Structure 1
Amino acid sequence: MKKHVVRYYLTFSAMLLLFYIALGSCFVLFQSFLSDELHLSAPQIGTVYTFIAFVALFCAPLFGAWQDMLGNSKKLLGIIGIGLVLCFPILGMLMVYVYHHVAFLPAAIIAGLYFGTMIQSGVGTVESYCEQATRHLGAFEYGRARFWAPIGCASATALSGYLLKINPYFCFWVSSISGVLFLLVLFSFSAKDLEPERKETIAEVEAQATGSFKDTFMLLRSTTFWALISFLFIATGGFMLFDQQFPLFYASLFPADMANEGAQRASMILSVQMIGEAIMTLLLPSLVNKIGARNGLLLGGLVMALRIFLISMTLHLPREIQPYWAGALKLLQAVEVPILIISTFKYISRHFAERFTATIYLLSFQCSQQVSTIFLSSLLGLSYKSSLGYTGTYTLMAIVILAFTILATFTLPRRGQSSIAGNATTTAAASQA
């Protein structure tokens, strides 16, 4: 790599690494903090996460549209970085104080506002910014920088599990320190260096920014947009719901007196999966470039449907091999998630104007996950306790994901762009879509 390319690779890698360290430190094990430190009941914890999901559901598209209007500007990322720095003051001090001295509900609102904006909406904003920046540079695949995202999350999650036993408030301190380092990295480069080489007048730039705000609402009239959103809603919602329930399912495969061991193994599997995602993020961009972004999305959907269906067969196997079967199939998620993320960014870049990248990504990935959390997780939990059980529920999930994947083969366009793309698409790019 050339010297300036190496510098930007290290910069965006560090941004993703530090953000995910902050996320893994304060959010992944936040449920354990609420139950073990604040002694909240299960319904109260559910209320907190519902607040988080509602805030993210509305803020994610706003962050996406805002960042698309800002283009290469780092203003919104700066706000997110400041939010990370304030993690300990907001969560470790303010939220805890309000809970102990005021009431539970205001404390839950504080947690919802913080996580819904800075973490759940911030993660898509940071990822879309880094993806656009690497595309502008054109010197390395975004996947090479995103390699450090799951590494950061896995290492922070492991560290948080240790810190929770010593002093759980240290987890928030780690997030705040990561936020400080995130801001230092953010301010270490100039956004002007990421501008496309073509020259534009000030009037043209302003016109484009204004147009992007108006055109954001025109996305609602794009059939390509709705085809992509509907597919990703099922796909990302599918692995989000599966992730939420997997620890309980995996622990149920062990005898009652070994439930803690089952939970520990599930945590280990998650860490190995994150490391696997990092490795696959390096390797899979070349595959997606070869088969095309559209086929990459379909492949991700097929892998997910097959994985969940095979896991639904777990209880039909001999009891001694059930944990190994379920654990091995959970690791297959390290393939499907990077494929979906990489293919989504490439599909957006080839079918929509560049200025819609953040909006579409946050709508498709983040909002679908929040809708799943708010409206579907409770229904899924009830289905586990009904006659369907884990086997029937996972089989039903696999059938729905497979059906939407098959439907996407007819609804996702192969070539060209949406009518509001605004950027010319080269023949080569279209042929890969």
Structure 2
Amino acid sequence: MKNITDSNRAEYYKISSFIFLYFFTWSASIGLLAIWLGQKTNLSGSVIGTVFAVNGIFSVLLKPVYGYILDKIGMKKYLLYFVVFMSALMAPFFIYVYQPLLLSNTMLGIIVGAIYLSFAWYAGVAACESYTDRFSRLNGMEFGQVRMWGSLGWAVASSFSGILFNLSPAYNFILGSVTSVVMLMVLLSLKVNVHSSHASEVIAKDKIVLTDVYQLLKNRKFWAFCLYVAGVCWMMFIAEQQFSRYFVTFFDDIHKGNTIFGYLGTVQSGIEFIMYMFVPLFVNYIGAKKGLLLVGLIVSTRLIISGLCDSHLLISVIKPMYGVEICLLLVSVFKYIVEHFDKRVNATMYLLGYQAMLYLGNVVVSSPAGYMYDRIGFEKTYIIMGITALTFTLISSVTLSSCQRRPGANKHPQTEENSAAGVRQQPVEH
């Protein structure tokens, strides 16, 4: 595989195994959260929307903190250890805390659940992906070469998670906790070479300070990127939150719908796995901006068709297209950040400008979306979301910046426009 050499092969296998296990755990359990909330705690569409909205509030608050910590500690793994520890608590939390609270005191359960899910998953996955991107570049690898194993992990778990769920959701959560222990052992064995030949391109000598975050918030490119996330990514991810509920309505037997949804999750993740092999080269060729715009076109098309379709066969074909979107989006986002923002704030930019902004959509749109699902139906809501995504894609074709330099250089001229945080580019200390 490109850029995988004898010197970094062992660490490639380790970081890939870590990502595989993390997404395997997520798919086996949290991936079925909307179905679990609807079928096991009997929450309505509006209340489920509120659950995701509150999840979004805590995620928005935590993700910038995670990003700042990652930029502050560099390549140290302390934050990842914490995320894995929280993941390992999944089974006891869902079985003995979350479900009883949702049934007895719904609002308290929603808040407690949001805190846990943010620590372990909604902010945790962003931290893991950001660290993986940095680790990949440190070892001269493409992020997609590693992230594709996360898609495979999701696919493997999805192939049986629906069946396991029909037996008992507790089995899904127990599996997640056990897998997290294995994940911890892999993380402990991962070695980080801060003296690699790529270190000066990835690790900044001067660590991030709060002033850097303030300067980032003053950068026009930051807000242009956030506008894209709000218009396109909000529609993409919020439509996906309760898509499982819409999907099962195409089947007379809800259990059959659950099972087939799990199978399609496997197909979707398989598509992601394959796409990650080629998308980095494709985005390098067309540029990160065009990659982001292409995502917008695909998202708007998929949502509009989802709202118009009336066949379980067509909706089953449409569902896996999400795999193409997420792969192209993630690769384009990371490359756009490397092209336009200082390396000292890469993790902060990803978790604040992309991930926190993404989950702000949960706060702003999840509850209204749930209300619209209940009042006007999934079909009309998805059409509205698709048109919204298309509109903001057209706007972003003007507001997003094109790359004016060699991708991957991660250096910027000393101008206010291109400086994310003062741009103090210096060689790394050894």
Q: TM-score range by the shorter chain?
A: 0.7 to 0.9
Change (3 A) 1:409 1:111: same
1:263 CA displacement: 4.7
Look up the equivalent residue of 1:187 and give its one-letter code: L
In structure 1, what is the equivalent of residue 14 of structure 2?
11
Q: Which residue number in structure 1 is paired with residue 110 of structure 2?
A: 108
**Of 304, 327, 332, the match for 2:316:** 327
- Given the alignment of the two structures, is residue 372 of structure 1 paired with residue 377 of structure 2, yes or no? no
* Structure 2 unaligned regions, length at least 5: 405-411, 413-417
Matched, 1:127 2:124: no
Say whether the 8 Å CA contact 2:155–2:266 is kept in structure 1. yes
Instruction: Give distance in 2, aligned partners of 1:121 and 1:14.
Output: 20
Please give the per-residue CA displacement for 1:128-161, whole angstroms capped at 9, x wherever unaligned: 10111111211x3111111111221232244433
Render the CA deviation track for 1:369-391: whole Å, top value 9, x for unaligned: 4233232133234434556x555
Pick the aligned partner of 2:301 from 303, 306, 311.
306
User: Which residue type is aligned with residue 400 of structure 1?
Assistant: T
Matched, 1:173 2:174: yes
Report if aligned partners of 1:212, 1:355 keep a CA contact under 8 Å in 2: no
CA distance in 1: counterparts of 2:55 and 2:234, whole angstroms: 16
Cα distance in structure 1, aligned partners of 2:354 and 2:295 = 14
Aligned equivalents of 1:97 and 1:251: distance in 2?
A: 26
Partner in structure 1 of residue 85 of structure 2:
82
Q: Which has the higher contact order (CA 8 A, sep 6+)?
A: 2
Aligned to 1:420: 420
Q: What is aligned with 1:398? A: 386
In the alignment, is the contact (CA less than 8 A) between 1:288 and 1:296 conserved in 2? yes
Structure 1 CA distance for aligned equivalents of residues 21 and 196 of structure 2:
24
Looking at structure 1, the residues matched to 246 and 93 of structure 2 have their Cα atoms a distance apart, in angstroms, of 33
Counterpart Cα distance in 1 of 2:101 and 2:257: 35
Asked if 2 retains the 8 angstrom alpha-carbon contact of 1:236 and 1:365, the reply is no
Name the aligned partner's letter for residue 60 of structure 2. Answer: L
**Which one of 396, 410, 418 corresponds to residue 408 of structure 1?**
396
Measured in 2, the distance between the counterparts of 1:47 and 1:126 equals 26
Work out the CA distance in 1 between the residues paired with 2:394 and 2:150.
Answer: 31
**Secondary structure in structure 2 of the residue aligned to 1:414:** coil
In 2, distance between residues paired with 1:88 and 1:309?
37
Q: Is the 8 A contact 1:314 1:326 kept in 2?
A: yes
Checking the alignment, whether the CA contact within 8 Å between 2:293 and 2:397 is kept in structure 1 is: yes
User: Would the aligned equivalents of 1:354 and 1:423 in 2 still touch at CA under 8 Å?
Assistant: no
Unaligned runs of 5+ in 1: 316-321, 426-433
Q: Contact 1:228–1:412 at 8 Å: present in 2 too? A: yes
The equivalent residue for 1:216 is 213
For 1:84 and 1:174, how far apart are their aligned partners in 2?
A: 11
1:98 CA displacement: 5.9
Q: What is the number of equivalent residue pairs in this alignment?
A: 408
Corresponding residue for residue 149 of structure 2: 148
Once residues 134 and 379 of structure 1 are traced to their aligned partners in structure 2, the CA distance between those partners, rounded to angstroms, is: 39
Q: Is the deviation greater in 281-290 or in 330-339?
A: 330-339
Counterpart of 2:225 (choices 215, 225, 228) is: 228
State the distance in 1 between where 2:100 and 2:372 align.
37
Q: Is 2:28 aligned against 1:25? A: yes
What is the distance in 2 between the residues matched to 1:96 and 1:46? 17
Residues 47, 370 of structure 2: 8 Å contact kept:
no
User: In structure 2, which of residues 267, 271, 286 is the aligned counterpart of residue 276 of structure 1?
Assistant: 271
Q: Which moved more, 1:328-337 or 1:290-299?
A: 328-337
1:338 alignment partner, one of 308, 327, 342: 327
Q: State which drifts further: 178-187 or 113-122.
A: 178-187
**1:86: Cα distance to partner?**
2.4
Aligned to 2:96: 93
SS of 1:277 mapped into structure 2: helix
Residues 84 and 180 in structure 2, CA contact (< 8 A), matched pair in contact too? yes
Contact 1:305 1:399 in 2 (8 A): yes
Q: Secondary structure at the match of 1:132?
A: helix
Deviation at 1:295, TM superposition (A): 1.1
Structure that is richer in helix per residue: 1
Q: Which amino acid aligns with 2:113?
A: A
Q: In structure 2, how many angstroms separate the alpha carbons of the residues matched to 1:292 and 1:187?
A: 36
* SS, match of residue 293 in structure 2: helix
SS of equivalent to 1:73: coil
User: In structure 2, how many angstroms separate the alpha carbons of the residues matched to 1:261 and 1:172?
Assistant: 21
CA 1:283–1:33 in structure 2 vs 1: closer, same or farther (change >3 Å)? same
RMSD (Å), alpha carbons:
2.9
Return closer, same or farther for 1:280/1:164 CA change in 2, 3 Å cut-off.
same
CA contact (8 A) 2:49 2:366 kept: no
2:339 is the alignment partner of 1:350: yes
**1:61 and 2:50 correspond:** no
TM-fit CA distance, 1:28: 1.6
The 3 A distance-change label for structure 1 pair 253 and 81 is closer
8 Å CA contact 2:34–2:241 kept in 1: the answer is no
Q: How far apart are the structure 2 equivalents of 1:31 and 1:78?
A: 27
